[in-house]
Amino acid sequence: MATALRTPPADDAAREVEAYLLANARKPMLRFITCGSVDDGKSTLIGRLLYDSKLLFEDQLAALENDSRKSGAAGGALDFALLVDGLAAEREQGITIDVAYRFFATDARKFVVADTPGHEQYTRNMVTGASTADAAVILIDARKGVLTQTRRHSHIAHLLGIRHLVLAVNKMDLIGYDQARFEAILADYRAFAAGAGIGAFTPIPVSGLEGDNVTSRSTHMPWYAGPALLEHLERIPVREANAAADPFRMPVQWVNRADQNFRGYAGTIASGRIRPGDRVAILPSGRTTRVERIVTFDGELDLAGAGQAVTLTLADEVDCSRGDTIAADPAGLDVVDHLDADLVWMAAEPLRPGRAYWLKLGALTVAASVARVAAVRDIDTMAAGPGRPLGLNDIGRCALVLDRPIPAALYRDNRRLGGFILIDRASQATLAAGMIAAFPDRPKLAADPGQGRIIWLTGSSPEERARFARKARERFAARGRSSFVLEEGTLRDGLSADLGGSDADDAENRRRSLEVAKLLSRAGVTVLVALEAPAGAERPGTELDVNGAARDWDWII
């Protein structure tokens, strides 16, 4: 005879734990980063924040005490930076190399903090940490003031759409909590922020080592009447709350075929809300249909919003695959193959205009090339300098051309659909982070569909121009466009065989080349001219500098 065992009712302690976990799950979450120059005290500040908030377990405190005795830099006292810097190389050198993430919670909200490196060579790691942050704590050593890396990190944070900046002037204890020094640093940073387009920031004088103005107000600075750092972080609006009010957007990450009768489209909702029965469009095709069901691991939903990972089933059989976007209202979401973007170059190898890269935007990967570097930002002056190939840690405005149209949004409107990375096609290394700034009007080749165009290449050597032109012709052919390359010597074996090597003969060869280019363009062929024009000759078409100099460019890729 079987005996039925009954589980006793949950006791009060279990109910309290369950209620606590439920309340904690419902708290809003703020993601923020700490950044700035080398030795500004970023890791120490985070460690102090965790310590003073009573958010460390006993074993963590014991490990911190032990590590501080062995390899600490605080003279035998607790070295709070060791709570964050976990790599052996970091502890050895006393610097942060990789991004370190820490999770903690207060009564008001949950936090994810990313401690990013200050060294210039690790700027790419800072970009990684900032890409998902809602706020940035910019640290400044009160003894050193505003440095180049402080400006670079602040500008990158602003480019990445972080609108809540905290200027934490650290190590105030080392300058005797001097108000005048704090005000001077604040004035210097305010002048920089105006040039960088940073509209607002919150200045807080702190000491990460001593705990002043970290979790509670400091008694050493009675002249400061603002909030403590943690107090301010608890008040910053969370981005996801705003994203729920935007139009529905969901990039498709996977087509789910659980069985022969089920086809769902899985992804994380980038913005907005969706319900069964809502009408949606599939981009880039533009086909419209309705949402039939919202399926999750825990069951079906009547409503889903920004940040949730769901699978949508659609009422109609539509062509929708990985990389497509499901949108409730396509307005504000463009299908483009040309875009202007701000690039943060993160590789030692410089950018090469015209070279093919992989552009990865969410789950979508397409071939792309940088057609033009319009301007490069000077970090010290914040002035936009002339275009040139980007080098390590450079920030520039670039025009990119894609091999096919994709759905995308401006970065300021939607981070998930406006941010991308460039990848080397051979090594698969990440080269740059990009933020879409504008969608330029695509230039027309001519009013007459049968009319070609002459593109006159300038700059560099004749050999480099010819190489660039041949690569461009290959890409034209891949897109079904007729093209022809006119380079030095093209006509020498035929039309110009009667010419010698004098300057006059060279000029005549170029003149004949120009006439041939005109005839070919009238036949609908795009002509790439890779030689110097004769003196006084009119150059039809658009000049294209293969070195990336600031000129008028045609889209050739």
CATH number for position 25? 3.40.50.300
Domain endpoint, select from 438, 467, 498 = 438
Residues 430 and 528 in one domain: no
Residues 308 and 355 in one domain: no
Spatial distance between the Cα atoms of 302 and 300, rounded to a whole number of angstroms: 7
Spatial distance between the Cα atoms of 292 and 107, rounded to a whole number of angstroms: 39
- Does residue 446 belong to any structural domain of this protein? no
- Does residue 556 belong to any structural domain of this protein? no
Cα Dmax for the chain: 114
Residue 427 has a CB neighbour count (10 Å cut-off) of: 10
Spatial distance between the Cα atoms of 31 and 134, rounded to a whole number of angstroms: 5
Residues 27 and 101 in one domain: yes
Residues 433 and 491 in one domain: no
Q: Write the CB contacts of 545 (distance below 8 Å, at least 6 apart in sequence).
A: 457, 458, 459, 551, 553
Cβ–Cβ < 8 Å for 405, 335 = yes
Domain endpoint, select from 292, 327, 362 = 327
Per-residue pLDDT tens digits of the chain, which is 557 residues long = 444 545 555 566 777 667 666 666 667 888 888 888 877 777 788 878 877 777 665 656 666 656 655 555 555 566 656 666 543 444 444 444 557 778 888 888 888 888 777 666 667 778 877 888 889 999 999 999 998 888 888 888 888 888 899 999 999 999 999 999 999 999 999 999 888 888 889 999 999 888 899 888 989 999 999 999 999 999 988 765 555 578 899 999 999 988 888 999 999 998 889 999 999 999 888 889 999 999 998 889 999 988 889 999 999 988 898 989 999 877 767 888 889 999 989 888 999 887 889 999 988 999 888 888 888 888 766 677 787 889 888 889 999 988 788 898 899 888 888 999 999 988 999 999 999 999 887 543 333 444 567 777 766 667 777 777 777 777 777 666 778 887 766 777 777 777 777 878 877 877 787 788 878 877 778 888 777 654 444 444 444 444 443 333 333 33
Domain endpoint, select from 299, 327, 355 = 327
Q: Write the CB contacts of 445 (distance below 8 Å, at least 6 apart in sequence).
A: 451, 452, 453, 526
Number of domains comprising the chain: 4
Q: What angle do CA 529, 530, 534 make, to 5 degrees?
A: 75
Residues 267 and 163 in one domain: no
- Does residue 445 belong to any structural domain of this protein? no
Among candidates 109, 104, 122, which has minimal Cα distance to 48? 104
Which conformational region is residue 125 in: left (phi greater than 0), alpha (psi within -120 to 50 degrees), or beta?
alpha
Residues 383 and 489 in one domain: no
* pTM of structure: 0.69
Residues 85 and 222 in one domain: yes
Residues 422 and 487 in one domain: no
- Does residue 7 belong to any structural domain of this protein? no
- Does residue 339 belong to any structural domain of this protein? yes
- The domain in which residue 31 lies consists of 17-238
Residues 166 and 60 in one domain: yes
Residues 319 and 345 in one domain: no
Residue 122 has a CB neighbour count (10 Å cut-off) of: 20
- Does residue 184 belong to any structural domain of this protein? yes
The DSSP H or E segment spanning 64 is: helix 58-71
Q: How far is CA 267 from the centre of its chain?
A: 20
- Does residue 12 belong to any structural domain of this protein? no
Write the CATH number for 415. Answer: 2.40.30.10
List helix spans (H) across 77-146. 88-93, 123-130
What's the Cα-to-Cα distance from 152 to each of 379, 381, 449, rounded to whole Å?
6, 11, 47
Tokens 């009013």, residue?
447
- Does residue 443 belong to any structural domain of this protein? no
Tokens 């960088």, residue?
196
Among candidates 160, 84, 87, 93, which has minimal Cα distance to 128? 160
Residues 489 and 354 in one domain: no
Residues 280 and 417 in one domain: no
What six digits make up the tokens of 164? 């809540």
